[in-house]
Chains A and B, each alone.
Chain A
Amino acid sequence: MLDEQALLQGLRDRRPEAFETLVRAYTPRLLAVARRMLGSDEDARDVVQDAFFNAFRAIDRFQGQAKLSTWLHRIVVNAALMKLRTRRRKPEESLEPLLPAFRENGHHADKFSAWDEAADDRAEREETRQVVRDAILTLPDTYREVLVLRDIEEMSTDETAHTLGITPNAVKIRLHRARLALRTLLDPHLRREPR
């Protein structure tokens, strides 16, 4: 078990072995977080490297109110968001095909099946977790970043708006559309099969 207080003191004292302990202890988990957000090993490695660089520079400002692991996690998430933004060179694919379709009278064009009642429990299985992560990765970046911050990182609407530099209303609209699209992507995997 890592003694965070002792580790933090070592980091503040600029002890090389403290930095090495930190990096070896937390990199595997942080790399997994970055990989899940970015869908690319190479980008995830860049992000973790950038995140540690930023953390090393900011270590004296770390107040110790949050756990060191939580603080590093947040830095990685922010670095992953920066990466999502910088790699956004080509126009994003439209979300429209993934949104629900309606008839002229405003009724749903499709008939929906109920999802498996145990869909939530199925999320405990790695197979389902992978399906959900893959679906999230297929969302356009501008929608994925909002979904990640709100539904995964559980930031508030205002905090998300501040982080992304958009209005709270834009956060709400994008989040809703991201969830609608994700629901469509998950539907074939989670709906209850006719018996």
Chain B
Amino acid sequence: MTESRLTCRECVEFLMEYLDDTLAGQVRVTFERHLSACPNCVRYLESYKTTTTICKKAFEVRDGESVPPVPEELIQAILAARLKAE
């Protein structure tokens, strides 16, 4: 890495710190300079950013969402295990 230029590889390495706002001043400047000249890295950064937010939405079990029925034997096994736990 040089002070004035970053490669795409270096940009990818710094991506998380950049988005967390923890990238040190000078590196941040060179990072942003690279972005301003590299639309491919901009597209990559945007899709990385979406990746970080989409996971939570995908895993949420929403209120009112239908979840598969629970087998009664599982309920009974859990209740039986309570006696052992005490």
Contacts and interface: CB of A to CB of B under 8 A. Distances in A.
Given A31-B70, A36-B59, A108-B40, A179 B9 contact: no
Interface stretch (A2-10, A21-29, A81-89, A159-167): A21-29
B73 to A, nearest CB: 9
| B interface SS class | helix
Interface string B42-77: 011011101111111111010001011111001101
B78 to A, nearest CB: 5
Contact of B59 (A102, A113, A133): A133
Contacts of A102: 7-9
Interface of B: 7-10, 12, 15-16, 40-41, 43-44, 46-48, 50-59, 61, 65, 67-71, 74-75, 77-79, 81-82, 84-86
Given A27-B75, A190-B50, 14 more contacts: A23-B79, A28-B68, A32-B65, A32-B68, A36-B61, A48-B78, A53-B85, A102-B9, A106-B7, A128-B58, A133-B58, A136-B59, A151-B56, A186-B47
